[in-house]
Amino acid sequence: MKHCGETEPWRLKVRHLSELKPGERVALITGSGRRLGLAMAQALAADGWAVVFHANSAIEPAEAAAAAAREAGGQAVAIQANLSDPDALGPLVEAASAAFGPLTLLVNNAGVFEHDGIRTTTKCTIATNLNLNLIAPMLLTQAFVGQLPKGMAGNVVNILDQRVANPTPNYMSYTASKVALAVMTRTWALELAPAIRVNGIGPGMALPDPGNDEAGMKTWTDGYPLRRGTSPEEISDALRYILSAPAMTGQILHLDGGQNLGWLHPEGGYPLKPGQV
């Protein structure tokens, strides 16, 4: 006897990425109008994926990138949606799957980075960080699962942060949202197997902060164990690796120059200088 809301278990043979036809490689990358999201979307488009570039405030660069992908012979479209609005999430997935067919990849990349600590936090900073960084990926993943046809393999990749392995006193509610999403990465991997694999990427500093430059970024990365951060290209290659590894699920790839190994702690200074690591 079924309980309320219970569905029949999937009884299927899952086809992995290597078995998908070109028309079945359809990706939605949230927050792909700028920075890492844009780099990953462009990389997948270059690899022959049909890509839905999502953006909210950065819709113009997303539209330009999608147009460039089409001019190069690919399939791409840009869709604008405010992920802080729960009512916009299901329609976004519906529109994305209507563009090129069922989505087989969701990259939960869009996020916000609001600073707070236990002494300074407000209802606003907590809600802002959690709504976009945690609740939106939850509801988007639910919608993604619902639209994936039986028998087709899917992938969810959550873009996390080195902070999930290296908690610090800074960015409290942001860190809470990313740590929770890291736990969901493992939880969903169990719940959605074997049809859907769920993994994460935990970047460190990959690009200069807005308003900063490479020299400013180097003052931070010189204090990392490897004396370097990561890059959009390395993050894109990590995504490619996850998609190519059918035995991988519930894992997080940290790409951060060793930053997650304890680089930032109160007794160590901020930032650490070369030689202090």
pLDDT, one tens digit per residue, over 177-211 is 999 999 999 999 999 999 999 999 999 999 888 87
Nearest to 26 by CA among 64, 75, 59, 62: 75
| Position 48, amino acid | G
Alpha helices in the chain (DSSP H): 35-46, 59-71, 89-100, 123-130, 136-147, 172-192, 214-221, 232-244
User: DSSP for 238-273?
Assistant: HHHHHHH-TT--S-EEEESTTGGGT---GGG-SSPP
Backbone angles phi, psi at 210, to 5 degrees: -55, 130
Query: How far apart are alpha carbons 75 and 48 in whole angstroms?
Result: 8
Query: How far apart are alpha carbons 232 and 40 in whole angstroms?
Result: 7
**Out of 171, 174, 224, 241, which one is annotated catalytic?**
174
Which two three-digit tokens encode residue 62?
A: 């997303």
Least confident interval from 119-133, 192-206, 227-241, 259-273: 259-273
Contact predicate 139/86, CB 8 Å = yes
Query: How far apart are alpha carbons 163 and 166 in whole angstroms?
Result: 4
| Position 269, amino acid | G
Q: What domains lie within the chain, and their CATH numbers?
A: 18-268 (3.40.50.720)
Read off the pTM: 0.88
User: pLDDT tens-digit profile of 44-53?
Assistant: 999 999 999 9
User: pLDDT tens-digit profile of 134-173?
Assistant: 999 999 999 999 999 999 999 999 999 999 999 888 899 9
**Is 174 among the catalytic positions?**
yes
